[in-house]
Amino acid sequence: MPDQPDLLPCPFCGGDCSCNPFGGSISEPFTFFVICHKCGAQTRRYGTAEQAIAAWNTRADRWIPVSERLPEPFVDVNGYSKSGVNIGYFTASGLWYEEGADMSWRNITHWMPQPALPEEVEGW
């Protein structure tokens, strides 16, 4: 991808990453996401590769231990457990759920907010 900013290493494991297209059909335009080849951490899908790379390269200040505080209920966050990093949310009833899964997410020890979305998206 020419003229695009460099991807920073994975903030979770330091692994190499790539920006990849997803979809792309008559009814669904390509979207883009960044994924770490070592631990599998990834962004959500964005309309352009530049947006996905900017989101990936935006870093939260630090991982927050769940013993320190919990995120607001039903707000997507990056969650860490010994099995890896995933996007999920905390419920008001005290359970964690992984995005796209029908089962609870167990043994979360740390979390960090998702980066803010771009304020303006051309072409949308």
Provide the CATH number for the domain around residue 26.
Answer: 2.20.25
Return the pLDDT at 34.
Answer: 93
My answer on whether 83 and 73 are in the same domain is yes
Surface-to-core class of residue 28, CB atoms within 10 Å of its CB (0-12 exposed, 13-18 middle, 19+ buried): exposed
Between 8 and 11, the more confident residue is: 8
Return the pLDDT at 91.
Answer: 85
Separation of alpha carbons 84 and 30, rounded Å: 27
For residues 31, 9, 63, 121, the Cα torsion angle rounded to the nearest 10 degrees is: -30
**Domain, as residue range, for 108:** 60-113
| Percentage of the chain lying above the pLDDT 90 cut | 15
> 97 in a domain, yes or no?
yes
User: Over the stretch 62-110, which tens digit does the pLDDT of each residue have?
Assistant: 788 888 888 888 888 888 888 788 888 888 888 888 877 755 677 888 8
The conformation of residue 17, written as its DSSP 8-state character, comes to E
> 50 in a domain, yes or no?
yes
> 122 in a domain, yes or no?
no
Residue 2 has pLDDT above 50, yes or no: no
How far does Cα 124 stand from its chain's mean position? Answer: 21
My answer on whether 49 and 77 are in the same domain is no
| Among the ranges given (7-11, 13-17, 47-51, 91-95), the one the predictor scored with the smallest mean pLDDT | 91-95
pTM over 0.85: no
> 74 in a domain, yes or no?
yes
My answer on whether 71 and 38 are in the same domain is no
Question: Which one of 59, 75, 96 terminates a domain?
Answer: 59
Reduced to 3 states, what is the DSSP secondary structure of residue 38? coil
My answer on whether 79 and 89 are in the same domain is yes
My answer on whether 52 and 7 are in the same domain is yes
> 90 in a domain, yes or no?
yes
Reduced to 3 states, what is the DSSP secondary structure of residue 5? coil
My answer on whether 11 and 54 are in the same domain is yes
Smallest CA-to-CA distance from 103 within 81, 83, 88 is with: 88
What is the total count of domains within the chain?
2
